[in-house]
Amino acid sequence: MSEYLAAPPEPSQQAALVELFLDGSLTPFATYHPPAVFSLDTRTLEDGPHTLQIRATDTLGKVGRRSIAFTVQNGPGITLTGLREGSLVGGTVEVAVNAFGGEEPFDPHRAESLATVPVWVWVMCSLVVLWAAWYAIEFFPTPQQFANTATYAANPAALAAQPAPAGANAPPAFSGKGSAGGFDYAASGATVFTANCASCHGAGGTGVPGVFPPLVNDPVVTAKDPAQHVTILLKGLQGKAIGGKPYSGQMPSFPQLSDADIAAVIDHERTSWGNQAPIVTPDAVKQARGH
């Protein structure tokens, strides 16, 4: 067990491997069968920049690599007043040094800055105060009897109080590509799918063999009753064989998406790539969510 790991993940029987390296080391400090979760104990690392390298090898021997740069700061933060990077100095220079650890009790005397407030800060504060005073005088709420005069016609407060023009509150136009029961799923379904689903199931819904199932002709996606489809989006799924084929990838849940977004992406999947199945509305998602 590496000194960087807080606890080992559960072993997997998959053949693919993920190896973890730190700071250019040629020897991995951990090796897993994906998917894996590990805890990196940064207390064993020196403060400063580090790099985590990840090397993944699939069942065919193909290798993928990724590097993540990060900075460790476990030690006390250090402030320095009186000397700047690259300064040209002479004679005696007074330098004030302060350091605070994250676990130290707060000390207001030590936290107080030893340097005077720079002039540019006072200038910026003065400008903000002057602008706020001008805005308050220029755009204070205008009495209704003067709202249409030339003097106050540009006052945004007066404009906001006026009735909205005819048609301003009209409902948005439908995309014309796919709607049902007043719900225009085609307006956002493809966008929600691209942002949340395409990275696993593919832009064309073909999936990844052995990892993520295809959505084309999937029995859940093409079922007449969309209830299971809605439940999977809300609660996720893992370890279920589809069409007699096992898939190692985990389907996450998406409770953070709105009822309209979940309905839109479900309808996009049920009407794309040759799929032709009944669609749902946000009300059905809301009912399945239980509120």
Our measurement of the distance from residue 47's CA atom to the centroid of its chain's CA atoms, rounded to an integer in Å, reads: 27
Compute the distance between CA of residue 62 and CA of residue 254 in angstroms, rounded to an integer: 31
Compute the distance between CA of residue 213 and CA of residue 199 in angstroms, rounded to an integer: 12
Name the residue among 190, 180, 177 with its Cα closest to residue 265: 190
Strand 77-81 and strand 63-72: the pairing is unpaired
Query: How many other C-beta atoms lie within 10 A of the C-beta of residue 197?
Result: 20
Give, as one character, the DSSP assignment of residue 203: T
Strand 17-22 and strand 48-57: the pairing is antiparallel
Our measurement of the distance from residue 179's CA atom to the centroid of its chain's CA atoms, rounded to an integer in Å, reads: 29
Q: Would the pTM of this model clear 0.85, i.e. be above it?
A: no
Categorise residue 48: left if φ over 0, alpha if ψ from -120 to 50, beta otherwise.
left
Q: For the chain, 291 residues long, give each residue's pLDDT as a single digit of tens.
A: 566 665 555 544 455 899 999 999 999 999 998 888 889 999 999 989 999 999 999 988 999 999 999 999 888 878 888 888 888 988 998 888 888 766 666 555 555 555 566 778 888 999 999 998 888 777 666 666 665 665 555 555 555 555 544 444 444 444 445 565 567 888 888 888 888 888 888 888 888 888 888 888 888 888 999 899 988 888 888 777 777 788 877 888 888 989 889 988 888 888 899 988 888 888 888 888 876
What superfamily does domain 185-289 belong to in CATH?
Cytochrome c-like domain (1.10.760.10)
In a 3-state reduction of DSSP, which class is residue 120? helix
| Ramachandran angles phi, psi of 22, nearest 5° | -125, 130
Categorise residue 49: left if φ over 0, alpha if ψ from -120 to 50, beta otherwise.
beta
Residue count (the chain): 291
Q: Where in the chain is the domain with CATH 1.10.760.10?
A: 185-289
Are the CB atoms for 42 and 7 separated by under 8 Å?
Answer: no
